[in-house]
Amino acid sequence: MNRFDIDWSRAPVVVVRLPARLDEPGLRAFFDEMEQGVHDLDALFVVMDATALDERPDAVMRRLAAEHQQALAAHFSARDGTVGEFIAVRSRPVRLALTAISWLTAHDRQVFATVDEAIAAALQRAEQAGGAPGGRTP
């Protein structure tokens, strides 16, 4: 199982470092940890560090990720909460594609070349939303 590294120290900004390769057990373990960790948050600003990812996720991984993302959005929508996604990915064509998809779907997603840029944007967005990072462990 390929593990995700989840850093809750800046919650509601949560930094997730993806492994080089995704597999279903690792993805499901990540979803479980996220669901446990967000239950008492009113806002969530997820930084996805995909800079180590070696391969494009297959259709099954993309479907599972989309379902999880919808579940998180529904959780926060029911609580009048805020969700933002900040993705760091090395490939310029992938960044452009993700940005275009965000525009078409009106999804609150921003794409960056480095994880430091993504974290800075997430921290700024959290502050603007009134969710000053305080950090915690789930």
Residue 72 located in a structural domain: yes
d(CA 58, CA 71): 20
Average pLDDT (7-24) is 91
Residue type, 62: R
How far apart are the C-alpha atoms of 91 and 120, rounded to whole Å? 20
**What is the rounded distance in angstroms from the CA atom of residue 5 to the CA atom of residue 70?**
21
What domain range includes position 98?
5-128
Phi, psi (rounded to 5 degrees) for 28: -65, -40
Q: Which residues pair with 82 in a beta bridge?
A: 43
Per the model's pLDDT, the better-predicted residue between 99 and 36 turns out to be 36
Mean pLDDT value across residues 26-51: 89
For residue 33, what pLDDT is reported? 92
In a domain, 76, yes or no: yes
Element (H, E) at 5: strand 5-10
Number of domains in the chain: 1
Quick one: what percent of the chain has pLDDT higher than 90? 27
- Structural domain contains residue 135: no
| Residue 122 maps to a domain | yes
Does the residue 23 lie in any domain?
yes
Residue 111 three-state SS:
strand
- Tell me the pLDDT band of 26, cut-offs 50, 70 and 90: very high
The reply to whether the predicted model has a pTM over 0.85 is no
What is the domain-level CATH number for residue 87? 3.30.750.24
pLDDT at position 106 over 80 = no
Q: Strands (DSSP E) along 54-124, which ranges?
A: 82-88, 109-112
Average pLDDT, the chain: 83
Residue 84 lies in a domain: yes
Residue 137 lies inside a defined structural domain of this protein: no
Q: Are 108 and 129 in contact (CB under 8 A)?
A: no
Q: Does residue 133 belong to any structural domain of this protein?
A: no
